[in-house]
Structure formats: structure tokens, C-alpha cells
Amino acid sequence: MIGFLGLRLLRAALTIVLVVSFAFIVLRLSGDPAMTIMSPEAPPEAIAAFRTAWGLDRPVWEQYFSYFGAILQGELGQSMRDGRPAMAVVLERIPATLMLTIPALIVKVGIGVPAGVFAALYRNSWIDRLVMALAVAGFTVPSFVLGLILVLIFAVSLGWLPSGGQDSWRNIILPVITMSLGGAGVLARFTRSAMLEVLGQPYIRTATAKGVPWAAVVRGHALPNAAIPTVTIVGFMVGTLIAGAVVVESVFSWPGVGRLLVVAVANRDLAIVQCILLLVAVTMVTANFIVDLLYGVLDPRLRGTASTGAH
């Protein structure tokens, strides 16, 4: 177990190094923060001064190593836009993002998983057809189109809900619906598929043949086994909680991490982008780790697999 954990930690560390390096290279080589933040109308001396102040005039490799050196000392840098500590800027936005992403995840799982299970249990019935049609409809409309249409209906025409902003709990309803419909559809389809797979397995038939009640078979055998692919997808969704929803946050003018990321990337504000990526990577790695542990719980056959690499 300790070897397993050590390996996971090593892999996580390498992943984060890879993410940070990649982002560094892309952001540094694909645009000039001085030009973007100050605009090309700014005096050339001001742009030169900006570059010197942020070390942008040094060779890229030198910037890279000094950046990593700083990170290792826990120095995550400042925003080039206003000089504030980058991590503080990012952390300030996280509650707003979680206010959307956590309810959205709950709705996705709460609707998607039961819908998929029911569709599988009543395969080829009208319930199945209806659930699957809704599931497909859920994820085929681009989220900004869905968001704008929901706003037109519920905010403009009916006046029931606010169109955007962050003033009260009513503001989260439309963005959460917009975010969850697609995810619920994806989960419903995966769950249904996994359930059907399991229901067709010989041990289910054996159990049924032995006279175990159907409900018990479903609860005891089908559900845990079918949970594996579903848990994988949910794990992935948990990993994206921090990064938020770039498009939905823009449509609903929600000041979360997703919008911060868009603005920071557009400005090539490296320190901010890197802080977001670090948080996303840590969440993602943690979520994957938990998923792997869940695999072991759900399916004893997979229990040893994750640690196999250790020997």
C-alpha cells in the first residue's frame, strides 16, 4: 500500500510538472502579455518597461527555470494585470465556481444515474425510449444556445428568474440547469449501457436461476458492477469542479474561475493561469485516486490492479 501511494504521488507530481511546463510554453510563445494588457497604442517605452519588470525580455528557458525555482519555494507569482498575488486572486473566485459546479454535479448524478438504471431495467419499454431521447436531447444542444434560450424564456418572457449575476440563490438555477442537462444525459447513457452489460452476465442469470429475488439481484450484483464505468465518468466530472464552466459563466456573467481563466489566458497572465492549473491538476489527480480506490471497493477483481505497477 505504501509503495502504491508513493507511486501515485510520484505520478501526480510528474503530471503537475507536465501541466505547468506545457502551459508555460504555450502561453509564453503564443502571445505577448505586455502588448495585450497595455494595447499596441501604448508608448513603446512603456511596453519595454513592462517586459523588463516581469522578466519577459529574458530568454524563455531562463524564465522557465526561474519560474520553477520560484514555485518550488512556494512563490506562485503575481498577476501581471494588477500585481496582486495570483493564488489570492484565484482563491477569491473558487467559492463562486463551486456554488455552480457542486449543485450541477449533484443534479447530474441525481438525475442521470437513476434514469440510466431505470432505462436499463425497463429496456425497450417507453420509459427507456423516453429517457434516452431526453438524454440525447440534453447533450446535443450547445450550452450557450441552451443558456440563452433558457434566459429568453425564464428571465425575459416569464420574468421568473434572473438572467445573470450573483445576487441570490435564484441566480444559480438557470446556470445549474444549463450545466447539468448535458452531463445528466451523458451519465444516463453510460449508466444504462453499463447496467445492460452487467444484466447480461452469466452470474446474474445464475443468481436469478437460484431464486434470488430480482430486486436483490439488482441491488447486490448489478448495481455495484455497473457502477464502474459510471464512477469513472463521475470522477472525471469531480475533477472539473474547479475549472468551472467557461461558457456558462460567460453567458450568465458569473464571476467564477472559468471566466478568470478565459481572461487570464487572453491576457497571457501566466501566474493566474498556472495557479488555476495547479488547483485543477490536484483536484483531478485526487479524484482519480478516489476513483481507483472505489474500483477496489466495487470490484474485488480490480483491487490489486492499481498497485501492480509497484513490483
Partner 1 sequence: MSDLVLPARAQPNSAARRRRMPIAVAIAITWLAAVLFVAIFADWLRPFGITALDLRARLTPPVGFGGSWAHALGTDELGRDVLSRLLVSIQMSLRIAFGATIIAAVFGTTMGFLAAHFRGWVEQIVLMLIDFQASMPFLILALSVLAFFGNSLLLFTCLLGLYGWERYARISRGLAIAANAQGYAAAIRQLGAKPMRIYLGHVLPNIASTLIVSATLSFPEVVLLESGLSFLGLGVQPPMTSLGNMVGYGREYLTRAPWILLTPSTVIVLTTLAVSLLGDWLRDRLDPTLG
Partner 2 sequence: MTQITRRLALTGIAATLPRFAIGQSDQRPSITVAVQKIANTNTTDPMREQSSNVSERWLGSILENLIGRNQQGQLERVPALATSWRRIDATTVELSLRPNVVLHNGDMLNAEDVAFSFGSERMFGADVPTDVRAVAKRYWPALERIDIVDRATIRVVNSKPDVTLEGRLSAGGGQIVSRRSWQEAGSWQANARLATGSGPYLLSSFKPDSEMVLEAHDQYWGGRPPLRRIRLLEVPEQASRIAGLRAGEYQFACDISPDQIGEIERDPKLAVKGGLVLNHRILAFDKQHPALVDPRVRLAMAHAIDGQAIVDSVWAGRAKVPAGLQWPFYGPMFVEGWTVPKFDPVLAQNLLRAAGYKGEVITYRARNNYYTAEIATAQILVEMWRAVGLNVQLEVKENWGQVLDKAGPRGVRDWSNSPTFDDPISSIVNQHGPNGAQAGNGEWSNTEMNTLSAALESGTDIAERKRIFARMLQICERDDPAYVVLHQNATFTGLRRDLPWQAPPSFFLDFGPKGWRA
**Touching partner 1, residues 241-260 (CB under 8 A):** 243, 246-247, 250
Cell numbers for 218: 439488482
By the rule CB under 8 A, 9 interacts with partner 1: no
Is the Cβ of residue 14 or residue 53 nearer to partner 2 in the bound state?
53
Name the DSSP class of 307: G
Which of partner 2, partner 1, none sits in contact with 12, Cβ below 5 to 8 A by type? partner 1
The one segment of 29-37, 193-201, 231-239, 276-284 that binds partner 2 by CB under 8 A: 29-37
What character string, x for contact with partner 1 (CB under 8 A) and - otherwise, covers 107-146? Answer: -------------------------xx--xx-xxxxxxx-
Cell numbers for 217: 439481484
Rounded to 5 degrees, φ, ψ at 159 are: 70, 25
By the rule CB under 8 A, 203 interacts with partner 1: no
Q: Return the closest-CA partner of residue 263 out of 274, 273, 253.
A: 273
By the rule CB under 8 A, 162 interacts with partner 2: yes
By the rule CB under 8 A, 155 interacts with partner 1: no
Biggest distance spanned by C-alpha atoms of the chain: 84
Residue 248: partners with Cβ closer than 8 Å, 6 or more residues away: 100, 143, 144, 147, 175, 178, 179, 254, 258
Which of partner 1, partner 2, none sits in contact with 39, Cβ below 5 to 8 A by type? partner 2
Rounded Cα–Cα distance for residues 269 and 300 (Å): 46
**Please, what is the minimum distance in Å from the beta carbon of residue 242 to partner 1?**
10
Rounded Cα–Cα distance for residues 144 and 166 (Å): 18
Which of partner 1, partner 2, none sits in contact with 246, Cβ below 5 to 8 A by type? partner 1
Burial per residue of 160-187, b for 16 or more beta-carbon CB atoms within 10 angstroms, e otherwise: ebbbbebeeeebbebbbbbbbbbbbbbb
- Burial of residue 15 (CB within 10 Å: 0-12, 13-18, 19+) is middle
- Among the listed residues 100, 184, 265, 275, the single contact to partner 1 using CB under 8 A: 265
Instruction: Specify the residue for cell string 451523458.
Output: 186
Residue 221: partners with Cβ closer than 8 Å, 6 or more residues away: 198, 203, 204, 207
Is the Cβ of residue 167 or residue 311 nearer to partner 2 in the bound state?
167
By the rule CB under 8 A, 25 interacts with partner 2: no
Q: Return the closest-CA partner of residue 299 out of 205, 231, 214, 244.
A: 231
**Cα–Cα distance list, 145 to 133, 172, 237 (Å):** 19, 17, 22
Is the Cβ of residue 49 or residue 164 nearer to partner 1 in the bound state?
164
- What does the binding site for partner 1 look like in residue numbers (CB under 8 A)? 7, 11-12, 14-16, 18-19, 22-23, 26-27, 29-31, 132-133, 136-137, 139-145, 148-149, 152, 182, 186, 189-190, 193-194, 196-197, 200-202, 228-229, 232-233, 236, 239, 243, 246-247, 250, 261-262, 265, 273, 276-277, 280-281, 284-285, 288, 295, 299, 301-302, 305, 308-309
- What does the binding site for partner 2 look like in residue numbers (CB under 8 A)? 30-32, 35-50, 52-53, 79, 81-84, 89, 95, 144, 148, 151-152, 155-156, 159, 162-168, 250-253, 255, 259-260, 263, 266, 268
